[in-house]
Every structure is written in structure tokens, then in C-alpha cells.
């Protein structure tokens, strides 16, 4: 994770944007406290399928019905 002060971020904003677009983790700090993370915006708000491939897993029990004690918390009407 690359951290930059607000002052440095102002000076190097174009480079930081390029880094974030390439997948870099860019964090802007005030003093030594991280306050903002610079992340790219998906074009047109469109989702890109496969971006979480290998990062998450679905348990084999995913499609099984919920137990009665958990169903009680859902408003299914």
C-alpha cells in the first residue's frame, strides 16, 4: 500500500490516478493518519464479471434451505 500526504497527492495526482487505475493501492494521509483511498470507478457503473475469481469461495451448503432459527429473522410476506 502506497501512502501519500495531501501535499504530495496534490503534486503527483496524475501519477496516483494512473497507479490506482493499474490496480495499485493508493492511500492519502493527513499527518500519519490514512484518510482516503483512491480507487477507480467502473466505466458507466458496469460490473466486470470474473473480477473476484479466486478471491472468494461459495460453500457447498449455499443452496440449502436456512435453518428455522434463521428464517424467523426474515420478513417473507
CATH number of the domain within which 30 lies: 3.40.1620.10
Residue 28: give the domain boundaries: 1-40
Q: What is the number of domains present in the chain?
A: 1
In a domain, 48, yes or no: no
In a domain, 11, yes or no: yes
- Region of residue 31 (phi > 0: left; psi between -120 and 50: alpha; otherwise: beta): left
**Residue 73 half-sphere exposure toward CB, CA atoms < 13 A:** 4
**What's residue 38's pLDDT?**
93
In a domain, 60, yes or no: no
**What's residue 77's pLDDT?**
65
Q: Mean pLDDT per 10-residue run, the chain (77 residues)?
A: 93 94 93 93 73 89 88 76
**What's residue 8's pLDDT?**
95
E strand or H helix that includes residue 35: strand 33-38
**What's residue 71's pLDDT?**
83
In a domain, 34, yes or no: yes
Amino acid at each position: 500500500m502506497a501512502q501519500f500526504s495531501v501535499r504530495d497527492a496534490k503534486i503527483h495526482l496524475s501519477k496516483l490516478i494512473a497507479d490506482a487505475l493499474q490496480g495499485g493501492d493508493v492511500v492519502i494521509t493527513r499527518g500519519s493518519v490514512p484518510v482516503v483511498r483512491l480507487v477507480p470507478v467502473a466505466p458507466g457503473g458496469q460490473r466486470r464479471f470474473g473480477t473476484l475469481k479466486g478471491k472468494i469461495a461459495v460453500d457447498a451448503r449455499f443452496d440449502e434451505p436456512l435453518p428455522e432459527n434463521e428464517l424467523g429473522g426474515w420478513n417473507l410476506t
